[in-house]
Structure 1
Amino acid sequence: MRIPQPEILHFDSDETSGYPNSPLPVLIYREVLDLSSADERADAFESMFKQHGWPPAWRYYLYDFDHFHSTAHEALGIFQGQARARLGGPNGRETVLYPGDVLVLPAGVGHACVEADDDFCMVGAYPPGQDPENERGDPAELAAAQARVASVTIPDTAPVGGPLKPMWEQ
Structure 2
Amino acid sequence: MTLQRRQFQAILGMLGLVLCGSSVRMARGATSRNSPDSFMLPPNGWVPNNAHLPVLHYRNGFPTHGSDPASGMEALFTANGWPPRWRWGVYDFHHYHSTAHEVLGIATGSAQLRLGGPDARLVTVRAGDVVVLPAGTGHKNEGSSDDFLVVGAYPPDQDFDLQRGPIPPAAITIMNRLPFPSTDPVQGRDGALPRLWRTG
TM-score when scaled to structure 2? 0.78
- Quote the RMSD (CA, aligned, Å): 1.5
CA distance in 2, matches of 1:86, 1:168: 22
CA distance in 1, matches of 2:93, 2:153: 19
Name the counterpart of 2:81.
53
Name the counterpart of 1:151.
177
Name the counterpart of 2:58.
29
Name the counterpart of 1:75.
103
Deviations 1:16-73 (A, max 9, x none): 2x11100210000111222324x43101100000000111100001100111011100
Which of 66, 69, 72 is matched with 1:44 structurally?
A: 72
Name the counterpart of 2:19.
none
Matched, 1:135 2:193: no
The number of residues matched between the two structures is: 165
Report the secondary structure of 1:136's partner residue.
coil
Task: Report matched runs for 1:90-109 at 5 Å.
Answer: 90-109=118-137
**Identity over aligned residues, as a percent?**
44
Q: Give yes or no for contact 1:81–1:99 (8 Å, CA) kept in 2.
A: yes
Report the secondary structure of 1:50's partner residue.
helix
The higher-RCO structure (CA 8 Å, 6+ apart) is 1
CA distance in 1, matches of 2:136, 2:165: 10
**Greater mean alpha carbon deviation, residues 104-113 or residues 153-162:** 153-162
Name the counterpart of 2:40.
10
CA distance in 1, matches of 2:174, 2:108: 32
C-alpha displacement at 1:136, in angstroms? Answer: 1.1
Name the counterpart of 2:17.
none
Report the secondary structure of 1:124's partner residue.
strand
Report the secondary structure of 1:11's partner residue.
coil
Name the counterpart of 2:91.
63
Matched, 1:85 2:103: no
Deviations 1:110-160 (A, max 9, x none): 00100100110100000101110010122xx35244223212113201111
Gaps of 5+ in 1: none
Q: Give yes or no for contact 1:19–1:142 (8 Å, CA) kept in 2.
A: no
Gaps of 5+ in 2: 1-25
Q: Give yes or no for contact 2:54–2:197 (8 Å, CA) kept in 1.
A: yes
Which of 107, 121, 128 is matched with 2:149 structurally?
A: 121
CA distance in 1, matches of 2:64, 2:107: 9
Report the secondary structure of 2:40's partner residue.
strand
CA distance in 2, matches of 1:132, 1:89: 18
